[in-house]
């Protein structure tokens, strides 16, 4: 963890350096008053950005007007990502100039600086600088645009084939949502519309794979409880807990207050008609055939996430010989490779969330990329290993950045065939 932090801080520091050098270069020919004014504004905005990150946990965001909060966070995140992209462009240009200089030197050229190799080289450097400025500006604008996508739910449909799926359950339709993070919402009507879209799918089963709240059960007020209780399915609505549901990220007056918060959250699941699976299982029977659904508490392979889940308890009492097909609700997708694949070969399909696709990236038919993939190998969509499958939902809500840029909130519809 320490090394990772050093690497991240180093990249950010270099990005800040390149961005400042780029600014100085772009205003160099301006009159002195303009140069000074632009530089001061830039430095003030940079300080404004980093104060937000440094004081993020100290600020009570719930008391900040939603519009102000959303714009401030979008600006801060846009600035940081923009500067990292500036770093990438400027580094490529520096590398190009270094190669040009080396080539000229090896050719016994009298040129000692790539900027004096020729007008073409100077024009290319100017082009790269302008490209960096344009890319950085578009990134900041993009993060503001992403605010409009936070309730832009996308329904993703797919069919998954399993050879051992009992005949009576062929065509079973499942809707999965994950990572609601109620405390981040600021629009009851928009959330209600998302619930309507779920109900429009007419699923046999509805699964929720954790993180109903950011930190505290009180985030799910009576209005949201009423909205979420509209979720109904013939075979039931089943849920599990995510890492945020335990209240591990806030300071509690006493340990008992933390326990009480979790108990209240469990009661809310029940009040909404959701069957919360706490290291346990359910067996469904249809036409003499049986399938099982297991649900465990949060289990993360990453060191800083707790392992509350217990597969042994979830399996207890399950008549495995009579239940050939098994599904698992487990919030953290790192659980799949860390424990499920090597130890539980009879889990046919696992449902996870947790990553949100980092709410930022490229998500098309031909290209799927997000920074979160450098932390999680399975971070969005369908993954297959032999006869075992995993689906990672991109999240229904949002956390931190109050928007979605490239990675839209997801309602997953899976049909088993």
| Strand bridging mode 154-160 / 289-295 | unpaired
Check residue 340 and report its DSSP letter: I
Residues 271 and 302 in one domain: yes
**Over the Cα atoms of the chain, what is R_g?**
25
Considering 123, 147, 171, which residue would you say is the last residue of a domain? 147
pLDDT of residue 37: 95
Residues of the chain with pLDDT under 70: 1, 57, 61-62, 108-122
- Ordered strands of the 410-416 beta sheet: 154-160, 410-416, 173-177, 205-209, 237-240, 274-276
pLDDT of residue 111: 47
Q: Classify 174 as helix, strand or coil.
A: strand
Residues 93 and 166 in one domain: no
Residues 107 and 221 in one domain: no
Using CA atoms in the order 338, 344, 347, 348, what is the torsion angle rounded to 10 degrees? Answer: 80
> pLDDT tens-digit profile of 132-150?
999 999 999 999 999 999 9
Of 337, 341, 344, 335, nearest in space to 315 by CA: 344
Q: CATH number of the domain that 286 lies in?
A: 3.60.21.10
The structural domain count of the chain equals 2
pLDDT of residue 239: 98
In contact, 72 and 52? CB cutoff 8 Å: yes
pLDDT of residue 119: 56
Residues 183 and 312 in one domain: yes
What gap in Å lies between CA 370 and CA 397, rounded to an integer? 17
Residues 57 and 171 in one domain: no
Phi, psi of 72 (to 5 degrees): -65, -45
Residues 6+ apart with CB under 8 A from 308: 241, 246, 297, 298, 299
What element of type H or E holds 388?
strand 388-392
Q: Classify 127 as helix, strand or coil.
A: helix
Considering 147, 169, 192, which residue would you say is the last residue of a domain? 147
Residues 98 and 212 in one domain: no
Residues 114 and 158 in one domain: no
Angle between helices 66-106 and 2-27 (to 10 degrees): 80
- Cβ–Cβ contacts within 10 Å for residue 70, how many? 19
pLDDT of residue 112: 47
> pLDDT tens-digit profile of 229-277?
999 999 999 999 999 999 999 999 999 999 999 999 999 999 999 999 9
CA distances from 416 to 149, 205, 303, 304, 392 (A): 30, 12, 34, 34, 16
Residues 62 and 201 in one domain: no
Considering 147, 182, 207, which residue would you say is the last residue of a domain? 147
DSSP letters of 389-408? EEEE---SS--SSSS-BSS-
DSSP letters of 17-81? HHHHHHHHHHHTTS-HHHHHHHHHHHHHHHHHHHHHHHTTTTS-GGGS-HHHHHHHHHHHHHHHH
pLDDT of residue 233: 98
Residues 171 and 218 in one domain: yes
What gap in Å lies between CA 84 and CA 13, rounded to an integer? 10
pLDDT of residue 1: 53
Residues 139 and 169 in one domain: no
User: 193 is in which domain, residue-wise?
Assistant: 154-416
Residues 41 and 120 in one domain: yes
What gap in Å lies between CA 377 and CA 302, rounded to an integer? 12
In contact, 370 and 417? CB cutoff 8 Å: no
Residues 6+ apart with CB under 8 A from 83: 12, 15, 16, 18, 19, 136
pLDDT of residue 108: 59
Residues 166 and 207 in one domain: yes
pLDDT of residue 315: 96
The mean pLDDT of the chain is: 92
In contact, 394 and 404? CB cutoff 8 Å: no
């Amino acid at each position: 963890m320490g090394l990772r932090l050093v690497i991240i801080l180093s990249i950010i520091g270099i990005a800040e350096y390149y961005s400042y050098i780029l600014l100085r270069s772009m205003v160099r020919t301006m009159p002195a008053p303009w140069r000074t004014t632009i530089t001061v504004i830039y430095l003030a905005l940079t300080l404004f950005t980093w104060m937000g990150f440094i004081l993020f946990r100290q600020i009570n965001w719930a008391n900040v007007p939603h519009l102000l909060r959303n714009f401030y966070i979008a600006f801060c995140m846009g600035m940081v990502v923009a500067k990292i992209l500036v770093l990438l462009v400027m580094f490529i240009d520096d590398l190009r100039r270094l190669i040009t200089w080396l080539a000229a030197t090896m050719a016994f050229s009298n040129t000692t600086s790539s900027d004096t190799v020729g007008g073409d080289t100077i024009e290319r450097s100017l082009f790269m600088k302008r490209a960096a400025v344009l890319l950085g500006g578009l990134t900041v604008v993009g993060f503001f645009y992403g605010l409009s996508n936070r309730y832009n739910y996308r329904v993703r449909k797919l069919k998954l084939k399993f050879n051992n799926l009992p005949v009576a359950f062929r065509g079973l339709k499942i809707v999965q949502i994950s990572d609601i993070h109620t405390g981040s919402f600021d629009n009851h009507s928009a959330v209600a519309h998302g619930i309507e879209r779920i109900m429009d799918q007419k699923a046999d089963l509805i699964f929720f794979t954790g993180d109903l709240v950011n930190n505290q059960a009180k985030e799910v007020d009576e209005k949201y409880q009423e909205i979420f209780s509209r979720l109904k399915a013939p075979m039931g609505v089943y849920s599990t807990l995510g890492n945020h549901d335990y209240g591990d990220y806030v300071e509690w007056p006493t340990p008992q207050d933390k326990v009480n918060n979790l108990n209240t959250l469990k009661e809310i699941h029940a009040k909404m008609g959701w069957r919360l699976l706490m290291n346990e299982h359910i067996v469904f029977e249809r036409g003499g055939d049986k399938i099982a659904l297991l649900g465990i508490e949060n289990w993360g392979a990453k060191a800083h996430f707790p392992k509350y889940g217990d597969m042994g308890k979830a399996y207890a009492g399950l008549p495995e010989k009579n239940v050939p097909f098994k599904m698992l609700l487990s919030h953290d997708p790192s659980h799949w490779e860390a424990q499920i694949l090597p130890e539980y070969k009879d889990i046919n399909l696992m449902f996870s969330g947790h990553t949100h696709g980092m709410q930022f990236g490229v998500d098309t038919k031909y290209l799927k990329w997000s920074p979160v993939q450098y932390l999680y190998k399975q971070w969005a969509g369908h993954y297959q290993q032999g006869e075992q499958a995993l689906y990672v939902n991109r999240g229904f809500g949002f956390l931190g950045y109050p928007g979605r840029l490239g990675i839209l909130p997801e309602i997953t519809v899976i049909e088993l065939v």
